[in-house]
Every structure is written in C-alpha cells, then in structure tokens.
Structure 1
Amino acid sequence: MHEFRNGTPAGSLPVVWRKSRRSNPNGNCVEVAALPTGEIAMRNSRHPEGPALVYTRAEITAFVLGAKDGEFDDMIV
C-alpha cells in the first residue's frame, strides 16, 4: 500500500478533488479528496499542483464536528 505524506504534490495524487458549493468563483477555495488509504487530502485550489496536507479520518472528524459545534466561528467574518 502506498503511503501519502504531507507536502506530496497535490497534482500527483490519484484522487478526485471537490470543494464546497459555498466557495467563491475566484478560486479562493480549499479542496478535499479521499485517498485510497482512507485518509483525506486537502489542497489550495489556487495552487492545484502545490503541496497537499494529509489528515487521518479521526483528524477530519474532529475538525468537522468542531466546526459544526461552532468552535471556529470566531475565525470567520
């Protein structure tokens, strides 16, 4: 099985990227993709070939649940 690491060029990952429908049309978005290993990759849509960040399912779950609970509301305008 292949191991994916933080900093891997996002364009070289064997995935389909997706972004929120709330993203703006200027391309200022974060995109995510499920890796074959079950981890989640994240990239900056303005730099699709740039480095990807790789998170475990547990890390993504903690972040999404925290966001749903409002823990990061102070970070938005």
Structure 2
Amino acid sequence: MQHIEDNGIAADELGAVTWRKSRASNPSGDCIEVAALASGAVAMRNSRDPHGPALVYTRAEIAAFLRGAKDGEFDDLAG
C-alpha cells in the first residue's frame, strides 16, 4: 500500500481503480469523481484534473459527509 502523506496522493498512483461521477455533473466537467480502493477507503479527485491529486477518505468519513449532504448541511456551498 502506498504511503499517503497529508491525505493527498497523485491519482495515477492509485493504480487501476474505477472512477465515477454524478449523473448530474455538467458537460464542462465541473464535478468530482470518486473511486473505491482495495483497502476499503474512497478516493476523490477533480474531474478536470484526472492526473492531479486525489484525497483519500475512510468509509466512515464518506458516510458522515453523505449524511450531512442529504440533510442539507452543505446546501449553502452550492448556491
């Protein structure tokens, strides 16, 4: 397993993972992409910079974020 320093790693260093993004993303690519890692963690990257950095989160961190997003806690960031 790669050593992840400061929670960032070059997306290319994650190997053969399947990146996916929301069906709601727009044609200009303004979206993030996520990938499940073999370790059970989840990586996120900017879809406009597929070779740039990826941030890696635990499943628990992703679950907490998604609960907050579903409850509208971050709606002010999109408006």
Structure 1 residue ranges without an equivalent (≥5)? none
- Higher strand content, 1 or 2: 2
Structure 2 residue ranges without an equivalent (≥5)? none
Alpha-carbon shift at residue 34 of structure 1 (Å) = 0.2
Q: Is the 8 A contact 1:4 1:54 kept in 2?
A: no
CA–CA separation in structure 1 for the residues paired with 2:2 and 2:51 = 19
Runs of 4+ in 1 over 3 A off after TM superposition: none
Q: Does the residue aligned with 2:53 lie in a helix, a strand or coil?
A: coil
- The percentage of aligned residue pairs carrying the same residue is 66
- TM-score of the pair, normalised by structure 2: 0.88
* Residue-pair matches, total: 76
- TM-score of the pair, normalised by structure 1: 0.91
Instruction: State whether structure 2 residue 45 is matched by structure 1 residue 9.
Output: no
- Across the aligned residues of Structure 1 and Structure 2, the Cα RMSD in angstroms comes to 1.2
- Of the three residues 29, 32, 36, the one matched with 2:34 is 32
CA–CA separation in structure 1 for the residues paired with 2:44 and 2:37 = 10
Alpha-carbon shift at residue 12 of structure 1 (Å) = 2.6
Q: Does the residue aligned with 1:21 lie in a helix, a strand or coil?
A: coil
Instruction: Rate the CA distance shift 1:16–1:4 in 2: closer, same or farther, 3 A.
Output: farther
Alpha-carbon shift at residue 63 of structure 1 (Å) = 0.1
CA–CA separation in structure 1 for the residues paired with 2:28 and 2:75 = 23
CA–CA separation in structure 2 for the residues paired with 1:7 and 1:57 = 16
Alpha-carbon shift at residue 3 of structure 1 (Å) = 4.1
CA–CA separation in structure 1 for the residues paired with 2:26 and 2:64 = 25
